[in-house]
Structure 1
Amino acid sequence: MSVSTPDILAAYDAVRSDKDETNWLLISYAGNVGNKLELSGTGSGGLSELAAKLDPTQVAYAYVRVEYANDAESKRVKFAFVVWIGENAKVMRKARAGIEAGEVKKVLSHFSVQIDAGEKGDLDEGEVVKRLRKAGGADYNGGRG
């Protein structure tokens, strides 16, 4: 199983780039059988757009760029790795998720937090930003952000 395909690497570079509006990528299974993972989507609509693409019958992996206000003058950019295990996913796919997540993380390696999600509410932007603030050192909003 290799996820270091040219299209996945290009999408990863796009999400990481300050010059590209792409802020998420999604990797999922190519078919109902087999373990081949492929790039199944990218977008520029942030966590809400990504969450809308997640299928409760699938296991998938996502990488997302989150930008948030640090204080009145500055913004911070952080990255999150998402392991999506849909509540109706096949048992064997769920069982393999831990091993596969490790393989995917070797390619999508620069992130501040890993989010293990099973329902779309797990990708609530406010909650994700809170986790990124905790992981990211200084919290300039006194924990209220």
Structure 2
Amino acid sequence: MADVSDPAIVEAYLDVRNDKSETNFVLLDYESDRSDKLKITKTGTGGLSEFTELLDDSKASFGYVRVSYSNDKESVREKFALVVWIGPGCKVMRKAKISVHTADVKNVLRVYSIEVAAREKEDLNEDGIVTKMRKAGGASYDGV
């Protein structure tokens, strides 16, 4: 089991969800290679692009990101993505534990539109994420 008991994780999650806050992502990493305890590595306001830059190819991480997009010039939507990052250089034992740990993380980072399993940074391309969010959002009038 992953240890997600740090109250700062819940605070950061609620901050990302808060419409009055500029914070739009939180990145969680393991305390060490042998630990199953997750801690906040970074929160930020730079969106998906800043979040993606922070990912380490040798680690497994979890993220929660608010993504804003518009369907037309009159409306802006904000949706949330749970990101499960397994870098290409991540150790085998860490990879093996991720599916179980993801369930524990979902108990804390509960509300999201899509879950993104990312193995390469290209998996977090903003256009691709927005397309997935539109499809998950139900009615689509722009052919997506």
Fold shared per TM-score above 0.5: yes
Aligned length: 143
* Mapped pair 1:63 → 2:60: no
Q: Tell me which residue corresponds to 2:97.
A: 96
Secondary structure of 1:107's counterpart equals coil
What one-letter code is carried by the residue in structure 1 that aligns with 2:135?
Answer: K
Conservation of the 8 A alpha-carbon contact between 1:71 and 1:141:
no
Unaligned runs of 5+ in 2: none
Distance 1:113 1:65 in 2: 11
Following TM superposition, the consecutive aligned residue runs of length 4 or more in structure 1 with deviations greater than 3 angstroms are none
Asked whether the 8 Å contact 1:8–1:38 carries over to 2, the reply is yes
SS of 1:70's partner is strand
Letter in 2 for 1:85: I
Other-structure match for 2:111: 110
Query: 1:47-66: per-residue Cα shift (whole Å, max 9, x none)?
Result: 11000000010000000000
Match of 1:35 in 2: 36
In the other structure, the counterpart of 1:3 is 4
TM-score (norm 1): 0.95
- Pairing 1:125–2:133 present: no
Deviations 1:75-119 (A, max 9, x none): 111100000001111100000000001100110010011000011
Distance, in Å, in 1 between the alignment partners of 2:43 and 2:119 is 20
Asked if structure 2 preserves the Cα contact closer than 8 Å seen for 1:29 and 1:36, the reply is yes
The superposition leaves residues 25-63 of structure 1 with CA deviations (integer Å, 9 ceiling, x where unpaired) of: 011111122211111111110111000000010000000
8 Å contact kept, 2:3–2:36 = no
Residue identity matched to 2:90: A
Q: CA–CA distance in 2 between the matches of 1:142 and 1:18?
A: 29
Q: What does 1:21-32 align with in structure 2 at a 5 Å threshold?
A: 21-32=22-33
Greater shift in the superposed pair: 127-136 or 23-32: 23-32
Structure 1 unaligned regions, length at least 5: none
Cα separation, 2, equivalents of 1:32 and 1:81: 22
CA displacement at 1:135 relative to structure 2: 0.2
Partners of 1:109 and 1:80 lie apart in 2 by 10
